[in-house]
């Protein structure tokens, strides 16, 4: 296979290795800083690549993408702040483990899961780029709508405690997503003439607010935590542990492959779906939300897999599936490469060079992660008043950097207050995150589908992919309804003879 020899030449003869390393480190740092999303990390690196050989430049940018998708999990676990959108699902159990003093274990799990997921994604990209590309093309607007709906249906299971409240915060999330230009007519909604709101509210601003700022506000009144037993080093999972987590790993990667190749869905949805599925298929679903290793492995494997497979539509069609790959695409154009079906035929040296660089970046991620994580753990074990204050400054700085906007900082603080109140009133916030992320996708694809069908709703069931996804969605919701309402009632009925119902 000539591809292998091209890959070998690229790796040994050029700047590929240092470029991959540099891109990776840059990506991890950018991804780990709150507010600096994967796409921003890549955009920041882009100007540095001018003047580089195109293959080296793209290796560097793609390695930064790999690093950023992983790096986002570090603050998600250590300070409950998803560094990137797709790390939001990791923040749930990751931060729980951190609070239990199991930071090193959580970070080790996310590093290993991320590396494995990343490698699976790259190998899928290398082996199956063409058949996977056809999946992307088969996705019509009704299918995208149903995919979005499937993502939203996770709300039903993510709203621990109260499904009604979960639906309420999910709806609030969708309302937040409705700010900005209408997807069909372009009329601006709920912007009240503010240019700051013209482009809508960025999900990362909402997430940092309801995760991080809310956490800081409620921590302010809590007594200093006891960290005497806390791990101070990263603790890698043993092979036996990994084997026991194989189901979550595979679920995450499987969903990641699928979400990566369908443009527009992306790592965040993949992470949430995987979290949900891992919980459903877990032997210990009750541990989810309380620091379950599976709950870290599944979403991290998923979003790192997406980093690889998202390159399928980007490279084979020139269609970016996310903001990050859009910038990668811009990078390719800047370096005179035209992504599209011909790329593989016209520039095999470039394609295989990039593949080998990506494999390298994923392998490097492991040692680099181990080196970076220990000081990170040390940092978050500083005295509480200091730690919280620096985190507050870091978070507010990161949010400003998203768009150079103090308005965004104020918005983030507002969402922090909202998150604080949600916690006080017992509202789950994950449904809100899903609503914010999926609102625009669901609405615009719904209306696009109807425009295409001439107003006929039948299009959602005549499109086979859409139909399949809708059925999956219905099954998911009814399963959740069953486990939330019917099963406890039945159990209670069975238990009644011994002890009277308490609820």
Contact indicator for 460, 145 with CB cutoff of 8 Å: yes
Residue number, 52 or 242, with CB nearest to other proteins: 52
Could you tell me the smallest distance in angstroms from the CB atom of residue 46 to other proteins? 4
Q: How far apart are CA 431 and CA 452, in angstroms?
A: 30
Query: Which residues, in sequence order, are CB contacts of 502 under 8 Å at separation 6+?
Result: none
Phi and psi, residue 458, nearest 5°: -55, -25
Residue number, 131 or 340, with CB nearest to other proteins: 340
Residue number, 451 or 493, with CB nearest to other proteins: 451
Phi and psi, residue 180, nearest 5°: 120, -170
Query: Which residues, in sequence order, are CB contacts of 313 under 8 Å at separation 6+?
Result: 133, 136, 261, 262, 263, 319, 320, 321, 325
Could you tell me the smallest distance in angstroms from the CB atom of residue 116 to other proteins? 27
Could you tell me the smallest distance in angstroms from the CB atom of residue 493 to other proteins? 16
Residue number, 88 or 437, with CB nearest to other proteins: 437
DSSP code string of 302-345:
HHHHHHHHTHHHHHHHS--SSHHHHHHHHHHHHTT---STTHHH
DSSP H helices in 381-429: 384-403, 406-424
Residue number, 297 or 306, with CB nearest to other proteins: 306
Residue number, 222 or 228, with CB nearest to other proteins: 222
Could you tell me the smallest distance in angstroms from the CB atom of residue 320 to other proteins? 6
Residue number, 139 or 249, with CB nearest to other proteins: 139
The three-state secondary structure class of 291 is: coil
Nearest residue to 83 via CA among 237, 271, 351? 271
Could you tell me the smallest distance in angstroms from the CB atom of residue 481 to other proteins? 12
Written as six digits, the tokens of 265 are: 């869905």
Could you tell me the smallest distance in angstroms from the CB atom of residue 72 to other proteins? 14
Query: Which residues, in sequence order, are CB contacts of 488 under 8 Å at separation 6+?
Result: none
Could you tell me the smallest distance in angstroms from the CB atom of residue 107 to other proteins? 21
């Amino acid at each position: 296979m000539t591809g292998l020899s091209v890959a070998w030449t690229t790796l040994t003869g050029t700047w590929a290795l240092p470029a991959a390393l540099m891109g990776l480190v840059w990506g991890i740092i950018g991804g780990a800083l709150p507010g600096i999303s994967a796409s921003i990390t890549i955009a920041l690196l882009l100007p540095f690549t001018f003047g580089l050989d195109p293959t080296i430049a793209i290796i560097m940018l793609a390695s930064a993408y790999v690093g950023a998708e992983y790096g986002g999990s570090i603050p998600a676990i250590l300070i409950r702040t998803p560094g990137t959108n797709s790390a939001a699902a990791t923040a749930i159990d990751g931060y729980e483990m951190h609070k239990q003093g199991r930071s090193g274990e959580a970070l080790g799990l996310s590093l290993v899961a991320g590396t494995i997921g990343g490698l699976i994604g790259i190998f899928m990209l290398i082996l199956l780029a063409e058949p996977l590309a056809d999946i992307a093309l088969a996705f019509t607007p009704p299918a995208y709508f149903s995919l979005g709906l499937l993502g939203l249906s996770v709300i039903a299971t993510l709203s621990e405690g109260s499904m009604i409240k979960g639906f309420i915060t999910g709806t609030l999330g969708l309302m937040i997503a409705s700010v900005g230009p209408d997807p069909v007519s372009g009329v601006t909604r709920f912007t009240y003439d503010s240019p700051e709101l013209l482009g809508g509210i960025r999900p990362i601003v909402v997430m940092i607010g309801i995760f991080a700022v809310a956490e800081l506000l409620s921590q302010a009144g809590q007594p200093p935590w006891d960290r005497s037993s806390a791990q101070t080093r990263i603790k890698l999972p043993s092979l036996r542990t990994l084997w026991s987590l194989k189901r979550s790993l595979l679920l995450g990667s499987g969903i990641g492959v699928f979400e990566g190749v369908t443009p527009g869905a992306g790592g965040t949805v993949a992470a949430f779906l995987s979290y949900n599925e891992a919980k459903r298929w877990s032997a210990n679903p009750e541990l989810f939300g309380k620091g379950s290793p599976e709950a870290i492995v599944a979403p991290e494997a998923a979003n790192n897999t997406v980093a690889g497979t998202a390159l399928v539509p980007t490279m084979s069609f020139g269609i970016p599936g996310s903001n990050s790959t859009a910038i990668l695409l811009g990078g390719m154009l800047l370096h005179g490469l035209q992504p599209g079906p011909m790329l593989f035929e016209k520039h095999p040296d470039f394609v295989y060079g990039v593949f080998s660089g990506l494999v390298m970046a994923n392998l490097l991620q492991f040692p680099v992660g181990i080196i970076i994580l220990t000081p990170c753990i040390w940092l978050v074990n500083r005295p509480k008043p200091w730690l919280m204050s620096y985190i507050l400054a870091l978070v507010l700085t990161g949010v400003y950097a998203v768009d150079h906007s103090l308005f965004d900082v104020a918005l983030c603080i507002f969402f922090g207050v909202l998150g604080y109140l949600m916690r006080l009133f017992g509202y789950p916030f994950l449904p809100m995150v899903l609503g914010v992320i999926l609102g625009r996708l669901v609405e615009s694809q719904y209306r696009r589908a109807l425009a295409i069908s001439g107003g006929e709703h039948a299009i959602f069931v005549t499109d086979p992919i859409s139909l399949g996804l809708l059925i999956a969605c219905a099954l998911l919701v009814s399963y959740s309804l069953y486990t939330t309402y019917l099963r406890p009632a039945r159990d209670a009925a069975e238990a009644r003879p011994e002890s009277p119902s308490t609820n």
